[in-house]
Structure 1
Amino acid sequence: MPQPATELANAMAAAYHAGDMEGVLALAARAGNVGDETGQLLLALAQQATGRYEEAAASFRQLAQQRPEVSAYWNNLGVACRLGGDPDAAEQALSRARSLAPADADVLYNLGLLYIQQRRWPLARETLLDAVEGAPGFIEARLQAAYACYVCGDNTEQEAMLLGAADWPAQPAGQALILAAMLSAQGDLDAALRTLARAQLPGGPADAPLRLRITAQRVLLHERNNQLEQARRELAQLPLDALDALPGDAHQARADVWRAHAALAMRAGAWAEAAALYRRALALASDEETRASAGFALASAYDRQGCRSEAWQALQDAHAIQLEIARGVLPDLLAPDSQPLQAAEVDRDAYMRWTPLPAPDSRHSPVFVVGFPRSGTTLLEQMLDAHPDFRSMDERAFIHELTERMELVGQRYPAGLAELSATEADQLRAAYFRMVGRVLPDLGQHRLVDKNPLNMLCLPMIMRLFPQARIILCLRHPCDVLLSCGMQPFRSPAFMVLCSSLQRLARGYVQAFEQWYRQVEVFRPQVLEWRYEEVVGDLDGHLARLGAFLGIADASPMARFAEHARSKRFISTPSYAQVTRGVHAGAVGRWQGYREQFEPVLPLLRPLIDRLGYDA
């Protein structure tokens, strides 16, 4: 005799709330037909909880058809379809749920997860940020929104999403690995290590690969922060023969362990050993970011051995991987004539219409360190930061963000600069220093060093807010700059595209400098040119010149920059290891080893090479 519907629903509810999902399924099977809506819902939830995603999708679809006005049924149908491998059906269901409940954070979160799975990163970012806006305490949504921002190169929103992340509850191991990587990327090593230490393992056979991945990430975090002794201690817990005991499909764990060993082999100068390990990691890594990182590292290992053709081929392969990452973020930039480095200019006539405004003097303005990336900006930043009068804040895009802030309030940039009132200019400066204060809360009376190479493209904003600022333009042989850029795994999607071919990179480099020189002619800023090759040849003389430009009585503390850099917890740029070794001539003329590859772009570069006083 079948159970009455109410009695069956009550029994199923009791089993469900006790966590006995198999019991729910058994009760439903004995009943044969669960006609009650509550019973149907409990059956669907139990099917989903036990991984029976196709059955759960069928049950939720039936519920949604019976009650099409209930967004929760469409939401759960979307989740079941996503987990069951039917993304099209998942998107249809979740879109229906969103139309019924546009501000439901749970619906937005699940739709965002689907977009991440589909690698539709801009949509994922927008949708997950909307979820967090509606539910600021929704930690899972904050984490996934931060991850989408991380992939999209949106550092500001990423940091906003991760505020307070050090105090979040322990995360499942897979999520902890992602969270730790993001926390480390924004310089919070302690929070990253704490996240890994508290990672929750699922139990069973999946634990061993995850433990190895967590330990491997600790190795890489310590190496990335120049803490080599700690990295070596962690590496001792990762013997390579431990990989033999892993399941055959534990590809990412093997790749992570090989990368950890390779990173310290590179630090030890064991280039051939590192190359062999990176080749293994590249062959097995399952995600694009890991494969791209291993590819660039492999190219560096080949380069150190003098294997130029192998290094160049590894670079081409790595850039191809990054181009696919960028395709999911900024597809428009992949057009052959696109300009990843876009910036607006002010001509002389427009500048003459600017209303004079009160502004800080040079000693109360930031010192701006600019130049194309890989021109020695990090080296100079660490020199300045080693002086007790100065504080640097690592690489931040705060000046660029002020241009976006103007656009958001309806002021066109740069045309709107002419119409700024003194109050509006003060508000922009205050917004800038609020952003600085989040990074350097103890700046006090120190002079701020704002090192961001591509602030060279934001000269109108700098000159409107800080017209007396001292600006230092870092220079290096253009071909050495381009080679070094091409060998770096930049995280910015725009830079992934820019560096994807030497021709595109050379064109962007020339355009950036042409704009710089046009704007310098307009604004006549106070600029010191800081030439890498000359600094290598005469450090003390150039530090004295730098001190005079900045009004420093004693520039000698800057000479101890390498020791200072070694004491820092985090340096965000690819130069994090180089700047700890002091000034050396090894990077001068490095491009000559790749002259054959540079020949096609030399005609494009030659006018600028001549203008900068270099030889081709």
Structure 2
Amino acid sequence: MPATPNRLDDTITAAYLAGDMEHVITLGTQAAQTGALSETGLLWLGIAQQTTGRYAAAAATFGELTRLRPEVSAYWNNLALACRQCGDMTASEQALMTARSLAPDDAEVHYNLGLLYVHQQRWLLARESLMDAVRLSPRFVEARLQAAHACHVCGDNESEQAMLVGAADWPAQPGEQALILASMLCAQGELEAALHALGQAQLPAGPAAGIMRLRIAAQRVALYERSNQLDSARNELRQLPLDSIERLPADAHEARAEACSVHAALAMRDGDHAAAATLYRQVLTLVLDDQHRAAAAFGLAAACDRLGQRDEAWQALQIAHAAQLEIARSVVPELMQPYSQPLQMADQVVDRVAYQGWQPLPPPARRTPVFVVGFPRSGTTLLEQMLDAHPDFRSMDERAFIHELIEGMELAGQPYPGGLADLTAREADQLRDVYFRRVERVVPELGKHQLVDKNPLNMLCLPMIMRLFPQARIILCLRHPCDVLLSCYMQPFRSPAFMVLCSSLQRLADGYVQAFEQWQKQVEVFAPKLLEWRYESVVGRFDASIARLGEFLELEDASPMARFSEHARGKRFISTPSYAQVTQGISSKAVDRWHAYREMFEPVLPTLRPVMQRFGYAD
């Protein structure tokens, strides 16, 4: 005698609660064939199918539920997950859109839509959906982590930091998520929190656990190397011998790439550039995503450059930039056009007439920062570490707080830079308060010390600096334009806009010239307290340069700045690509480095020559 629907539901529910998914599927499938399966039975059947990896069958079951009860958003959400798991991304997105329309305040639906977009690498949409999930459910840790990751890829540092508030206290994460979280925490300078996230990572079941352990070990090495803790990095690397990498399954491309890459990074630190190049070449033979591919290609380029293998270095750079452009394409598609403008504020200028219309403002109540500016890779990190080594100063690593003030001003409906003329004393104080609140989160011990705000592209924000801090001392870092461009071209910048800017020497040269043309116009208008700090002079006349810097800053004793490399070695984190170089002291190796690639620079020299001549640099 067949079971009645209610009795069948009870039996299926009991089997599900007992964890006997196969029995649920057997009962449910038989009942479905005779049309005797109720809505409740269909739900348990679909979940059991999904739990056991029968994703196509689960999609069919949840599809039936949406036909029976199209007004229930949870069924559309379940259908979307099953469709995503069996590879039907179009159907998954359509189901999630329906679920969102039925339940616009359901954080879980927004989260799943964000995960779908992450899977598709549609990063802007992923960021939007995941941040919506966090807005609806602020304690939704998984959504915060994934939202932070999407913000990280999009170069939205402010939102990434906001999503990671309290991350050190989050519960243990699955291995893959722990790797992402640790990487982001390290980029925020929170090494201990990053290591903690790795230490409590949840391992997958079966053979995958061993692969995850290896990836976690590799990440620990990378974190220590990135934080200039080389003894700790080498100790960790001993737990990751090369023969253990060779024993990985053939399809473990990601794990093999990460393990080989940290061996290569330590080989570079030890001066074994040939070994590093061999390892990076091995990584590039693997099936990798664009991020891993770009990192390996940049590493190979650096190793080949040190070996004097210029042609191979240049070929590796082409691979690296092609991969980075693919990353940028999904984040800043508007910059893919040949004549787009990656340096967003390079055309924002205040002319003399507008400046004369500025109403005087009371001086700031707090001590004015020293601003270190210049095109990236011009020696700004070197100078920052010199200043930070002096007891009178505190630096905050590279922060975009001035840029963020501009963005906030525009969001409030005040155009930049035109709206600066109409700022009241109260509004200016509010902007300064916002600035220093952000500073205090990074440098809580600032106290009576003078802040060093080093952000190279603050050179494009001179109007804002001069409006809020008209007496600020500003130091412009200069270096031969061709050395600057070569160094930029060889670096894996994280900003998607900078990925585009650095994608070719010509584009870089155009951006460099545009930045300095804007700078020169603004210097002529504002006449700031300015010191031009030349990298070549610092290398060639170090003591005289330190004395000149001390005189500009009105210091009684500038000598502590000479011990910058020792000071840098004691810091836990330096965010810029120069994190290793500044621990090694002054070297002339980076001067005129571009001559080895002169053939590549010939086409851009006409573009650069006017700026080169203005600052006294020769071909």
Q: CA deviation at 1:285?
A: 5.0
Which residue pairs with 1:328 in the alignment? 330
Which residue pairs with 2:146 in the alignment? 144
The CA distance in 1 between the partners of 2:128 and 2:445, in whole Å, is 33
Q: 2:342 aligns with which of 340, 343, 346?
A: 340
Which residue pairs with 2:3 in the alignment? 3
The CA distance in 1 between the partners of 2:404 and 2:25, in whole Å, is 54
Q: 1:572 aligns with which of 563, 570, 575?
A: 575
Tell me if 1:508 matches 2:511: yes
For structure 1, the residue ranges without an aligned partner over 5 or more in a row are none
Counterpart of 2:360, as a letter, is: P
Which residue pairs with 1:409 in the alignment? 412
Indicate if the aligned counterparts of 1:225 and 1:571 stay in contact, CA closer than 8 A.
yes
Which residue pairs with 1:100 in the alignment? 102
Q: Deviations over 1:373-411 (max 9, x none)?
A: 000000000000001111100000000000010111111
Counterpart of 1:281, as a letter, is: V
The CA distance in 2 between the partners of 1:577 and 1:283, in whole Å, is 27
Q: CA deviation at 1:359?
A: 2.0
Indicate if the aligned counterparts of 1:5 and 1:35 stay in contact, CA closer than 8 A.
yes
Q: CA deviation at 1:251?
A: 1.2
The CA distance in 1 between the partners of 2:574 and 2:5, in whole Å, is 64
Counterpart of 1:220, as a letter, is: A
Counterpart of 1:72, as a letter, is: A
Which residue pairs with 2:43 in the alignment? 41
Which residue pairs with 1:547 in the alignment? 550
Q: CA deviation at 1:269?
A: 0.7
Q: 1:282 aligns with which of 264, 278, 284?
A: 284
Which residue pairs with 1:252 in the alignment? 254
Which residue pairs with 1:465 in the alignment? 468
Counterpart of 1:348, as a letter, is: R
Q: CA deviation at 1:211?
A: 0.9
For residues 161-176 of structure 1, the aligned pairs below 5 Å read 161-176=163-178
The CA distance in 2 between the partners of 1:541 and 1:219, in whole Å, is 39
Tell me if 1:356 matches 2:331: no
The CA distance in 2 between the partners of 1:22 and 1:538, in whole Å, is 78
Q: CA deviation at 1:540?
A: 1.4
Q: CA deviation at 1:30?
A: 4.7
Counterpart of 2:364, as a letter, is: P
Tell me if 1:494 matches 2:497: yes
The CA distance in 2 between the partners of 1:26 and 1:588, in whole Å, is 74
Q: Deviations over 1:31-57 (max 9, x none)?
A: 454521111111111111111111111
Indicate if the aligned counterparts of 2:114 and 2:127 stay in contact, CA closer than 8 A.
yes
The CA distance in 2 between the partners of 1:391 and 1:83, in whole Å, is 50
Indicate if the aligned counterparts of 2:224 and 2:230 stay in contact, CA closer than 8 A.
yes
Q: Deviations over 1:149-185 (max 9, x none)?
A: 0000111111110111111111111111111111111
Q: CA RMSD in A?
A: 1.1
The CA distance in 1 between the partners of 2:30 and 2:509, in whole Å, is 71
Which residue pairs with 2:184 in the alignment? 182
TM-score (norm 2): 0.98
Tell me if 1:207 matches 2:209: yes
Indicate if the aligned counterparts of 1:208 and 1:246 stay in contact, CA closer than 8 A.
no
Indicate if the aligned counterparts of 1:499 and 1:505 stay in contact, CA closer than 8 A.
yes
Q: Deviations over 1:223-276 (max 9, x none)?
A: 111111111111111111112332221111111111111011101111111000
SS in 2 for 1:472: strand
Q: 1:157 aligns with which of 159, 164, 186?
A: 159
SS in 2 for 1:255: helix
Indicate if the aligned counterparts of 1:176 and 1:199 stay in contact, CA closer than 8 A.
yes
Tell me if 1:18 matches 2:13: no
Q: 1:383 aligns with which of 379, 383, 386?
A: 386
TM-score (norm 1): 0.98
Runs of 4+ in 1 over 4 A off after TM superposition: none
For structure 2, the residue ranges without an aligned partner over 5 or more in a row are none
The CA distance in 2 between the partners of 1:243 and 1:473, in whole Å, is 46
The CA distance in 1 between the partners of 2:246 and 2:111, in whole Å, is 38
Indicate if the aligned counterparts of 1:255 and 1:285 stay in contact, CA closer than 8 A.
no
Indicate if the aligned counterparts of 1:128 and 1:145 stay in contact, CA closer than 8 A.
yes
Indicate if the aligned counterparts of 1:360 and 1:468 stay in contact, CA closer than 8 A.
no
Indicate if the aligned counterparts of 2:76 and 2:95 stay in contact, CA closer than 8 A.
yes
Q: Deviations over 1:428-464 (max 9, x none)?
A: 0000011111111121111100000000000111011
Q: CA deviation at 1:544?
A: 1.2
Q: Deviations over 1:93-135 (max 9, x none)?
A: 0011111111211000000011111111111111111110000
Counterpart of 2:356, as a letter, is: M
Counterpart of 1:609, as a letter, is: M
The CA distance in 1 between the partners of 2:364 and 2:473, in whole Å, is 12
SS in 1 for 2:233: helix
The CA distance in 1 between the partners of 2:337 and 2:6, in whole Å, is 62
The CA distance in 2 between the partners of 1:384 and 1:209, in whole Å, is 44
Relative to structure 1, is the Cα distance of residues 367 and 99 closer, same or farther in structure 2, using a 3 angstrom cutoff? same
Figure out how many residues of one structure are paired with residues of the other and give that number. Answer: 615
Tell me if 1:427 matches 2:451: no
Which residue pairs with 1:453 in the alignment? 456
Q: CA deviation at 1:25?
A: 1.6
Moved more, 540-549 or 584-593: 540-549
Which residue pairs with 2:275 in the alignment? 273
SS in 1 for 2:139: coil
The CA distance in 1 between the partners of 2:453 and 2:597, in whole Å, is 33
Counterpart of 2:385, as a letter, is: Q
The CA distance in 2 between the partners of 1:370 and 1:391, in whole Å, is 16
For residues 115-126 of structure 1, the aligned pairs below 5 Å read 115-126=117-128
Q: Deviations over 1:301-333 (max 9, x none)?
A: 000000111101110110000000000000110
Counterpart of 1:450, as a letter, is: D
SS in 2 for 1:528: strand
Indicate if the aligned counterparts of 2:28 and 2:37 stay in contact, CA closer than 8 A.
no
Which residue pairs with 1:86 in the alignment? 88
SS in 2 for 1:368: strand
Indicate if the aligned counterparts of 2:364 and 2:429 stay in contact, CA closer than 8 A.
no
SS in 2 for 1:552: coil
Which residue pairs with 2:196 in the alignment? 194
